[in-house]
A and B are shown apart, each in its own frame.
Chain A
Amino acid sequence: MAGDVGVQDYPIVWKKNVAPDHVELILQAPMLARAVPGQFVHVRTPGTLRRPISFSRIDPESGQVGLLFQVVGEGTAWLSQRSENSLLNIIGPLGRGFPPPKAERPWCLVGGGVGIPPLYAALYAWRHRVTAPISVILGARTADYVIMRQDFAKLVNQPIEVTTDDGSLGSKGTVLGPLARWRSRHPEGQVFACGPTPMLAGVANLLQGMGSVYLALEQRMGCGVGACLACVVLGEGENGPEWRRVCHDGPVFSAEELIWR
C-alpha cells in the first residue's frame, strides 16, 4: 500500500535530459518507492513554495523513483540544474493515486505532454495485473515532446498510438481521435489519463457515461498536504457542487466526480 508521508532528503542518482527542456531525475528513495502511481511529491526549491511533481517511475525493488518535469519557470529551472549526488528535500508520497486497474477489462493509458510520466509509472506497476489488452495513446506538441515512448514500448505488445499538434510524429491532432476509436472497440474498458486541463476536459467529455475513467489533475498548491485549501477543483458533492483538494482528495479523480466548466 501507499507509503507513509514524510519529509526527507533524497540523493539524485541519475539525471537525464529526455527532451528539450525536459529533465528526468532518478532518486534513491526507498520510502518513496512504496508510492502508488499517480501520487506526487512536493519538492523544496528556493522561494516560498515547494513544487509538485508526479512519479515517472516507482521501483520498489531498487528503491528508486523518477521525477520527470518540464522547465517552465524558476523552480523547475533550479531543479534541472541539480547534479547527480546532490540531495532533494521532498515531502511525499502525497495524494491519492490511481486505483488498481481491473484485471479483465481493456485498459487505455492516455498521456499528454508532461502528463505522460505518471502513466508510465501506472503501466509499470500494473502491467502484469491486467490480462485484457493494454493500449497507450501519447500526445504532444511535436515529435520531440512525445516523452518516454520507448519505455512504454518495452512494456506493451500493441503499437503505441502517437498524436502531435503538428503531425511531426504519428497522426496530426489530439489524443481524442484515437481515444474515440478505442472507446468504440472497448465500451467496457477502463481509462487512465493525465495531461493539460483542456485535454482532460476533452477526455471526460468524450468518455461520458463510461464507468472507469480516472484523471490525474493539476492545480496550484500551497501546502500540498490538505491544510490550506488552495488547490481546489469543482466536484460533485452530496448536496451539489463542492470543492475537492487536488493534493489530498486527488490528484487522481474519477471523471464522474468532477464538474467541468
Chain B
Amino acid sequence: MAVNLETSVGALSLTNPVMAASGTFGFGPEYGPLVNLGRLGGVAVKGVSPIPWPGNPPPRVWETDAGLLNSIGLQNPGVEVFCRDDLPFLRQAGTRVIVNVIGRTIEEYCQVVSRLESESGIDALELNISCPNVKEGGMTFGQDEEHAAAVTRAVRSCTTRPLWVKLSPNVADPAGIAVAVEAEGADAISAINTVVGMAIDLKHRRPALGGITGGLSGPAIKPIALRIVYQVAQAVHIPIIGMGGIRSADDVAEFLMAGASAVMVGTATFAEPGIMETIIDALPTCLSRLDATSPAELVGAALPGRGSIEEDRRPGDSS
C-alpha cells in the first residue's frame, strides 16, 4: 500500500505531519547545517514579542529523568529584528513557517500580529498563551477561559491568517480553554506547552534554574500531552497539533490516534538533530503496519466510539 504523508491543518497543507516545535529550533537557520528544513512539515519559530525580551538568568536548562526543564524566559529580539534578519531565510527554506507569538498584554499580541500582516512567507500564527499577563498580576493568559478567549478574539480581528492557539497543560480543564478559543475563531489548537516544574541544585543548595521554576518537556510529559489531546479532540471541531515528548513514528501515531492532525517535535531534536527526518522516513512503514495509507486515516482513531475496543476492555470491566 502506498502511503501519502500529505497532511492538512484546516486550510493549510503540509508535505507531512511533522513540524519543529517553537523554542527548540531557533529562528530557522541555526539547525541549517544539520537538518534539511525542506523535508519538514513546518517550522515553528521561537516566540516573538513586539520589542526584545531579555529572558531569564542562567542556568536556563536542567536535565531530568526522561525530560528537560527550561526557563529560557522567552528571550527574543522582537518582531522588527525577526522580520529583518530571520524571515528572509525562512521564506526560502522550503517549509511551512509558523510564527509563535508572545505578549504581556493583549495589545502586545496584536502589535506583533499586525506587524506581520505586511510580511509574506508566513503560513500560520501560533499564539503562545502561556505568557504572564502583566495587567492581571502575572497570571497567564492561558489560565482561564475568559482571558484565553479575550486574547484570541483580539488577535482574530487583526489577521485572516491561520490562527493556532497553543494550550498550557497547567490548568484544570484544557478542553474548556480549547472550546473558548474555538468560539473566538481559532483555526487550530496546539497542545501542549511545557509542564511547570522545578529541580534543586544540591551542590549550591538552591533552585537549579535561574528562573526558579521551569517548563518540563520531553518523554516525561508525553502521557500528559496525549491525555490533553484526547480530551481536546472530543471538545472541539478544529484540528489539533499534538506535541510533548515525541521521539518516534510510533509516538506520532499515538498522537494521531488521540486526535491530533499533525505534530511537533521539540526536545528530541537536541539529542538527535536528524530525528524529525528519521521520523518522517519511518512514518510510511509505521502507517502501513497500522493499516493506514495516510496520517489522516488515523486521526482520532482511539477516540470513544472510534476505536475497536475488544470485549475484555469494555468500560466497566476495568478495575
Contacts and interface: CB of A to CB of B under 8 A. Distances in A.
Interface of A: 4-7, 44, 47-50, 91, 219-233, 242-243, 248
B114 to A, nearest CB: 25
B84 to A, nearest CB: 16
Q: Which secondary structure dominates where chain B touches chain A?
A: loop
13 contacts: A7-B34, A47-B271, A48-B68, A49-B271, A223-B31, A225-B30, A226-B30, A229-B72, A230-B59, A230-B72, A231-B60, A232-B75, A242-B54
Contacts of B26: 223, 225-229
A197 B50 CA distance: 34
B58 A219 contact: yes
Interface residues of B, number: 33
A49 B55 CA distance: 21
Contacts of B54: 242-243
Contact of B267 (A48, A221, A233): A48
Given A47-B63, A49-B63, A229-B46, A7 B273 contact: yes
B19 to A, nearest CB: 15
A4 B33 CA distance: 8
Nearest to A221: B61
A121 B75 CA distance: 34
Contacts of B272: 44
A227 B274 contact: no
A247 to B, nearest CB: 10
B216 to A, nearest CB: 11
Contacts of A222: 24, 60-61, 68, 70, 270
Contacts of A224: 270
Nearest to A74: B63
A228 B31 contact: no
Contacts of B34: 5-7, 91, 225
A31 to B, nearest CB: 12
A242 B274 CA distance: 31
A223 B60 contact: no
Contacts of B63: 47-49
Contacts of A48: 63-64, 66-68, 218-219, 267, 270-271
B58 A232 contact: yes
In order of increasing CB-CB distance, the 7 nearest A-B pairs are A227-B26, A227-B30, A230-B61, A230-B60, A226-B30, A220-B59, A222-B61
A242 B75 CA distance: 11
A106 to B, nearest CB: 34
A229 B75 contact: yes
B273 A225 contact: yes
Q: Which secondary structure dominates where chain A touches chain B?
A: loop
A219 B30 CA distance: 18
Query: Among the interface residues B24, B34, B273, which one has the most CB atoms of the partner chain A within 10 A?
Result: B273
Given A5-B33, A48-B63, A220-B62, A229 B270 contact: no
B55 A232 contact: yes
B25 interface: yes
B269 interface: yes
Nearest to B26: A227
Given A7-B273, A219-B59, A49 B68 contact: yes
B23 interface: yes
A85 B24 CA distance: 33
A227 B72 contact: no
Contact of B31 (A220, A227, A233): A227
A225 B31 CA distance: 7
A223 B75 contact: no
Nearest to A89: B272
A243 B274 CA distance: 28
B228 to A, nearest CB: 21
A230 B273 contact: no
A47 to B, nearest CB: 6
A233 B58 CA distance: 7
A18 B273 CA distance: 32
Contacts of B58: 219-220, 230-233
Contacts of A223: 24, 26, 30-31, 269-270
Contacts of B64: 48
